[in-house]
Amino acid sequence: MPWVFVYGTLKRGQSNVQVMAGARFAAPALSVQPWRLVALRHYPALVREAGPARIAGELWEVPEAMMEMLDRFEEVPALYTRHEIEVECLAADEAGSLAAGARLPAHTYFMPAAQAAAGRELLTGAWPA
C-alpha cells in the first residue's frame, strides 16, 4: 500500500479527516526537505519550492484503491499535483512496521506557486499556525 503525507485538513482532528476513512494513520512525520507552506483562507498549500522549514504532517498507509479518490478530493490536476517526497517518522507506528527516525518516500499534494500566491507564508512549516 502507498504511503501518503498529509499536512492540512486531512490530518487527525481537522475538518476533512473523514476522507481518510479506510486508510491507516501510521505516525507524525516531517518532510526531509524544507518546502514552502502557505495558509489560504480555509486550508494550507504546499508549494514545490525550497522553503524555510521542514513540513509537519502525518504519514498514512493508504489502500491503492483510495489514491484515485484522494486525487479527486485534492482536485488533481486543476488545483494540486501529486508528487513523491521523502519523509521522516517522528514516532514508531502502532503496527511496529516503522521506527521513529525512519525515512521513506510518500505521496503528497503540491499547489502551483501562482495559485498559492495569495496565501500567507507559514515559516514554521506547520498548519494550523
How far is residue 61's CA from residue 29's CA, in Å, rounded to a whole number? 13
Strand pairing report for 24-39 and 53-61:
antiparallel
CA dist., res. 55 & res. 125, Å (int): 4
Q: Is 64 a catalytic residue?
A: no
Give yes or no for a contact between 81 and 47, defined as CB atoms under 8 angstroms apart.
no
The one catalytic residue in 74, 75, 84, 121 is: 74
Q: Enumerate the active-site residues.
A: 74
